[in-house]
Structure 1
C-alpha cells in the first residue's frame, strides 16, 4: 500500500510540474509579465477596486471563449394555444455554466378553419409527436453533438446538425423498410382481362369533327402531395437559430447584425437617406363590421372582387394616406385555397367560378385599375404553370409575382439548386423544420444571384419570438410578411421591426427607397444569371412589411 501511495503521489507531482511548465511557456509566449506591469503602471493612480477591475477585464480577454455546455428543448404553447418548441442555450464562461438565451420556432402545420373534428384530432396527434420528438432529439443527443463548440462557429454547428439529421432520415427509412418487410404478403388475385372497348358512336349528320373536343376545357391537374416532414426536424432549425442568437448575445450585438456578417464578409452600410414623412390629419372613419381570422386579417362579405380594395382606399383617405405613395398593397391570393376541384375552377367569390385563363384576365384588370397593388402572392396553384407564365408575361414590369405555398421548401430548393420551376419574381422563405442559418444564407445568396426577391414570412402557428424580423433584415430580404396588425405574437414582430429601424437610423446605416423598380425584372433573369457570380448588394437594409390585405 505504501509503494502504491508513493507512486500515486509521484504521478500527481509530475502532472503538476507539467502544468507549471505549460503555464510558464504560455506566459512567455504571450509576454504576460510585461503586459501586466504596463497595466499596473498605467493604473497606479486608481483605487484598489479599480485596479482589480482592470485586472479582471485583462485576464478575461485571455480566458477561453465561451463554449456550448447545455441545450434544453421544451414544449411550449404558441399564439393559438397549440404546442411548439422552445430551445435554451447555456455556455461555459470562465469555467462556470451560464444560461445565455432561448428561442421558439413555429411548427409547419397550417391552420384550417372549419375543419372536421377527425381532421383536427389527427393533426393534433401529428403536432404533439413532432414537438415531443424534437424535444427528445435535443435533450438526448444534440447537446452531446454540439458540446464544447463556440457559438460563433455557426458553420460547424450547422454542419453537425445536418449530419445528425441525415442519420435520423436514414434511421426512419430503415425503420419503414423493416415494417414493410414484416408485413405478410397478400396474394394478388389473377388479372382480369377487360372486355374490348365499345365501338365509337356513329357521327350524326351535319356534326363537325372535333367540335366537342374544342368545347371541353383542359382537365385540372390534381394537387401535388405535400412534402413529407420527419417528426423532430424542427429541432434542427430551432437549435441553429438558438446558437446564432447566443453568439449575438455573447458579442453584445443585435441578431440581425450577426446574421448579416454571417452572410457578408463585412458589412458596408449605405449612406443614410432622408425618409419622406407624412403629416396627414386623422379623421373619423365609419365602423367596419366583420370578424378577424386566425391570421389576424379582417374578413368581411363582399359582392365584387374590387369591393375590399375600395374599402381600403376609403380607409387610407380618411387617414390622410395616399395609396401608391405612402402605402402599397400586396394581395395574398392563396390560389391553392380557391380551387374547386369538383368544378375545375377557381372560386373567387361564393358562387363565382373562373377558369385559370380567366383568372389571368382578372389579375391584369385589377392591376390596371389599382396600380398601387405591387405584389400578388400565390395567384395560382403551383400545378397551373402555364398561367404563371402568362401572368408573368403580362405583369412582370408592373407587379411582383410571389410564390409562397406554390414554392418548395428551403431544403428541397437547395437540394435541386433550382428555384425557377415557375415564373415569378420572388419566394416566401419560412424558417421551419430542418432549415439552419447556413441554409438561409445559402438560399438568399441563390435568390440574389438569380435576381429573385427573398420574402421572409411567418407561419400560421407562431409564438412571440421576434427572431424572424432579425432574420429578414440581417439576410437582406426585400419584404417581410407578418399578417394583420393584431395579437401579441404579431405585434411583437412589428415592434421589433420598428426598433431595428430606429437603431439603423441612429447608426447611419438606414437606406430607404419608396420606389419599386419593376424594370429590373423585365428580362428573364434565370437565363442570364444562372452562372453569374454573386456581386455585392447595393443595400441589405431595410426590409419592408407586406401585410396581407385580402384574399382574391
Structure 2
C-alpha cells in the first residue's frame, strides 16, 4: 500500500486553557495514521497567522466549528491522493487553498493541525519515530531546554511586566540532568516565595504566579532561588527572559507598570542592557516590539556577543522577516512556532534562514497547549539546538519534556546534548 493520503478528518478537542482547539487525523492508503493538535497563543504578534474562531457567545467566542468544517469540506478533498512524504507539496496545497497571506480564511488552527498530522502519518508509514524521519540520517543534537520558573505578562494577569522568567542549563551534559537541575530551582523558588508571601498560584504555562513589587524583584528572587537550589547562577544555571515587549507598547514607547512608567524606545533598550549586566542572563526574547527594529538592533549590538537575543513577535517564524532582521542587525536567534506561520514547511524555512545566518534556533510551544508532543520531535529532528515548552509543571508541558527524555534514552550513547553549541558562535565561546 502507498503513502498517499486516503482521508483527512478534523475534530474539536480542548486545550490547556479549557478552550476549543482543532485536531486533525490523516490516514494513508497504507493504513498509517497521523494526528496533531493545534496550539494557541495568548501573546500574539500582528504579523502571525490567524486562527479561525466562531465568535458569538458559545465557548466565549473561541469555538472552532468553522475551522473543523473547513477541514472536511475543503482540505480533505484537496489533499486526498497526495503523497504524504512530500510535505512541501502538501503544505503548498494548503497555502494555495487558503489563499490568504495569514491563513485567515481556513484558519491557521486548521491548517497547522493538518500539516503536522500529515507529517506524523508519513513518519508512521516509514515506521520511524518522527524525529528520526525528519533527520533523514543526519546527526542530531538533543536540544537545550528553556524552562519557565515565574510566569508574568499576558500569561499571568500581568503580575509582572516581563512575560517569562526562565532558566537554562547549557553545561548540564544531558537533557535528563538539565531537568533535574531545573526541578531543584523550581522547588527552591516556590519555597522562597512561600516564605516571603507573594505566592499566588501558577500561570498559564505552569510557572509560579507571583506578586512581585518590581521586575527587578523577580530577577533578584530567581537569582536567589538558583543559589538556594545548590547550583551556581551564571555557571550551572542561567536566566532567560521573554520580555514580550510587544505587549508593553510599541515603537513610540513602552509602559512598565511595576517600575517607573513610560519608557522611550531608547530607554527600553537601555533598561534591558542594564538587566543583562546586573543579572546572570544568557537569553532575552523580544526586548522590543514587533516593529521596533531600532531597539532590537540596539540591544543586539550592545550585548549580542554574550546574550542570545531572540526574535518572536518581530520574526513570527517567517523566513523573510528573519532576513530583514539580520540585515538590520537585530536578533541573533529565532523562535520557531509552527502555528505562528501555519505549516511545517514554512516553519522549517524560517529555522533554516536563522541557521544560515549563524543564529540560534528555538522550537517553541504556545501558552495554550495540549498533550501533543510534535515540537519535541521537530526540535530534535531539525537539530534546532533549543526547545522552549513552558514550565516544569502541568501535564501539557511535561508531556513534551517527558517525550524528550524518551528520545534521549533511545539514542543511548549517541545522545549529544546541544549545550553551548545551541547558541550563536560568540555566545557559545563565552560558555566554553
Structure 1 and Structure 2 fold alike (TM over 0.5): yes
Deviation at 1:230, TM superposition (A): 3.1
Aligned to 1:32: none
Q: 2:393 aligns with which of 478, 486, 490?
A: 486
For 1:164, the equivalent position in structure 2 comes to 97
Task: Select 2:408's aligned residue among 490, 496, 501.
Answer: 501
How far did 1:360 drift?
A: 2.6
Deviation at 1:304, TM superposition (A): 4.1
Q: How far 1:456 moved relative to its partner?
A: 1.6
Q: How far apart, in 2, do the equivalents of 1:270 and 1:338 lie?
A: 35
Does residue 1:91 correspond to 2:28, yes or no? yes
* Corresponding residue for residue 333 of structure 1: 243
- Taking the TM superposition and a 5 Å limit, the aligned residue runs for 1:186-201 are none
Q: Secondary structure at the match of 2:351?
A: helix
Check the 8 A contact 2:84/2:122 in 1, yes or no: yes
Q: CA deviation at 1:243?
A: 1.2
Instruction: Name the residue aligned to 1:385.
Output: 293
Structure 2: distance between partners of 1:307 and 1:496: 34
Find the residue that maps to 1:483 and give its secondary structure: strand
Aligned positions of 1:201-350 closer than 5 A:
229-261=104-136, 266-268=137-139, 275=173, 285-286=191-192, 288=194, 289-339=199-249, 344-347=253-256, 349=258
In 2, Cα distance between equivalents of 1:315 and 1:389: 31
How many Å separate the matches in 2 of 1:274 and 1:344?
Answer: 39
Q: 2:300·2:331 contact (CA, 8 Å) conserved in 1?
A: yes
Q: Give the Å deviation of 1:495.
A: 1.1
Deviation at 1:256, TM superposition (A): 1.3
Report the equivalent of 1:68. 5
User: Among residues 397, 405, 408, which one is paired with 2:305 in the alignment?
Assistant: 397
Is contact 2:242–2:285 with CA below 8 Å preserved after alignment? yes
Q: Deviations over 1:245-299 (max 9, x none)?
A: 01112222111122222xxxx413589x993769999798555223322232323
Who wins on radius of gyration, i.e. which is larger?
1
How many equivalent pairs are there? 377
**1:73 CA displacement:** 0.5
1:361 Cα deviation from its structure 2 partner:
2.7
1:425 to 332, 344, 349: 332
TM-score (norm 2): 0.76
Q: Which runs of 5+ in 1 are unaligned?
A: 1-63, 112-119, 171-226, 523-552
Rate the CA distance shift 1:301–1:433 in 2: closer, same or farther, 3 A. closer
Equivalent residue in structure 2 for 1:373, among 269, 272, 281: 281
Shift of 1:74: 0.5
Q: Structure 1 residue 465: deviation in Å?
A: 0.6
Distance 1:140 1:394 in 2: 52
Deviations 1:503-544 (A, max 9, x none): 23x15142443467665379xxxxxxxxxxxxxxxxxxxxxx
Give the drift of 1:357.
2.3
Paired with 2:291 and 2:91, the residues of 1 have a C-alpha distance of: 33
TM-score (norm 1): 0.61
Give the CA deviation at 1:428: 1.4
CA RMSD of aligned residues (A): 3.5
Q: Which has the higher strand share?
A: 2
> Over residues 32-73 of structure 1, what are the superposed CA-to-partner deviations in whole Å (9 max), with x where a residue is unaligned?
xxxxxxxxxxxxxxxxxxxxxxxxxxxxxxxx3343211110
> Which among 362, 365, 378 is matched to residue 271 of structure 2?
362
- Tell me the alpha carbon deviations over residues 57-92 of structure 1, each in whole angstroms, 9 at most, x when there is no partner: xxxxxxx33432111100111111101100112223
Aligned in 2, Cα 1:76/1:326: closer, same or farther, shift over 3 Å? same
1:455 to 351, 355, 362: 362
Stretches of structure 2 lacking an aligned partner (at least 5 in a row)? 45-54, 143-170
Residues of 2 paired with 1:489 and 1:367: CA distance? 31
